[in-house]
Amino acid sequence: MALALEPFGEIGLDEPLFRTLIAEHESEVVPELERLWLYYRNPRIGTGGGASSLAQASGLPARLRGRGGLASGDDRSGGAKEVVVENDIAWRVNAMVDFVFGKPVRVVSQVEDEGKRREIETLIDAVLESSGGGAMLRDAGLLGAVHGYVDFVVRVDGLFEGGAIVGEVGSFEDVVSFAERVRVEVVEALRAVPVLEPSDFRELRGYLICSDEQTNEVDEGGRRVSRVVEVLSADRRQVYRDEALFEDAENPLGDLPVVHVQDTSEPFSYAGMSEVEPLIPTQDELNTRLSDRAHRVTMQSFKMYLAKGIDGFGETPVGPGQVWSTDNEGAQVESFGGDMDSPSEDAHIDELRQAMDKISSVSPVVIGVIRERLGQLSSENALRVTLTGILAKTERKRIAYGRALTQIARLILKALDASGVYRTDESERGVRVVWRDPIPVDRESELRAARQRVELGVPLETVLAELGYGSGDTGVI
């Protein structure tokens, strides 16, 4: 079936390129992204019980995986009876996301007029809150950390009716209600297929969103799945369902409504660097050593006995106060086994954990696990020195997501202007993002520093925004 992609000729998207982009995405990109998510989430994918059916068990060596590919514990296949999978990746990623998005984020307008500035902040806040607010940002941060990048799509269809202007707007409350029709959608990398400028990977010319949707139609295999592909450009929007054109409309925004975020910047690449990928080899090694130790403890944690010259010894229970008797003067009972200390094994496991701390910049300290060697964290500055790595990474991520929020705000205000709901010009669409300190601070010291900033001439609105306050708490998500 031929696709009606003629409106996208200006960005160079025709049917052969369309199919090639999707095929490359499904064959090259999706498998790797799914592997990263499996290592983060570590769900149960096998039919067996225990750790042997968890996703990370697939990274164990063959001697532990057994004949079935996953850890089996079948002695005849050479597999160990004990398999341990400890997911040291998930809590590190979650802690990183909590550091970046754990406190409210404030979007502050740069307009000089106080009245209009407050209105703009209220409108942006209304759109972000109706789109999920802080939960949306945390979802985006998690997907970005696992996959390396994440995208936002600003949906403005609700403002327009068949491409026409919405109409006259009454009070500012009406303006806010219209603004809430705009949605900011998080698009994970699994569904995102970018159409890039051939000479510049940073320039996004078009965008494809691929999804598999379950329908209410039932066939022999259950509910039928429909393949939906959405095509976006600055001028057009099309939706194909099972390669049949389902929607076709102009883009009233006149701008590509997509904001791309590299969670961790990777030079000369559209995609960013995943937080999960560099941890996988060390995680596999850690799981291997934990499994080996569990097997050793199982084999050595109880005593075994070798009896010579005692009839029926194998049929006699072994327990406290048990007495064996025989007339054989040469009879003897030897015991062996019992748990033994293995310092090198414990040291190796501890070194693996420390290696993961260094790779991720996230140590157990960030979740409140204080080791004795850290000493007394008696001040805020001491805590900041201890958490230097994660604080530096938090700032880098906040720069990336803060830039994305400023672009999202610009698209929101442009849509409201194009629809006639709220008029702004390009110079009035600038915003800045104010992040709260991820480290607990002494509130008295914070307020004292804020008063000093006001005395130095810093605008009160700016100081209040840095504290997380505003007029009516507007702009806090």
Q: What is the tens place of the pLDDT at every residue in 349-385?
A: 989 998 999 999 888 877 766 655 555 555 566 667 7
Q: What is the reported pLDDT for 363?
A: 82
Residue 366 lies in a domain: no
pLDDT tens digits, one per residue of 83-124: 899 999 999 999 999 999 998 899 999 999 989 999 999 999
Q: How far apart, in Å, do the first and last CA atoms of the chain sit? A: 45
Residue 17 burial (10 A CB sphere; 0-12, 13-18, 19+): middle
Which stretches within 361-473 are classed as H helix?
380-386, 388-418, 443-455, 460-467
Count the domains in the chain: 1
Residue 233 lies in a domain: yes
Residue 305 lies in a domain: no
Torsion 216-220-225-227 (CA) sign: negative
Q: How far is CA 14 from CA 19, 66, 206, in A?
A: 9, 48, 12
Residue 339 binned pLDDT confidence (cut-offs 50, 70, 90): low
Q: How far is CA 169 from CA 174, 420, 423, in A?
A: 6, 8, 11
Is residue 173 within 8 Å of residue 119, measured between CB atoms?
no
Is residue 5 within 8 Å of residue 13, measured between CB atoms?
yes
Residue 189: which domain range? 6-42+87-278+390-473
Residue 416 lies in a domain: yes
Residue 129 lies in a domain: yes
Does residue 473 register a pLDDT over 50?
no
**77 DSSP assignment:** G
pTM for this prediction = 0.84
Residue 64 lies in a domain: no
How many whole angstroms separate alpha carbon 88 and alpha carbon 160? 48
pLDDT tens digits, one per residue of 258-284: 999 999 998 889 999 999 999 999 999
Residue 148 lies in a domain: yes
Residue 207 lies in a domain: yes
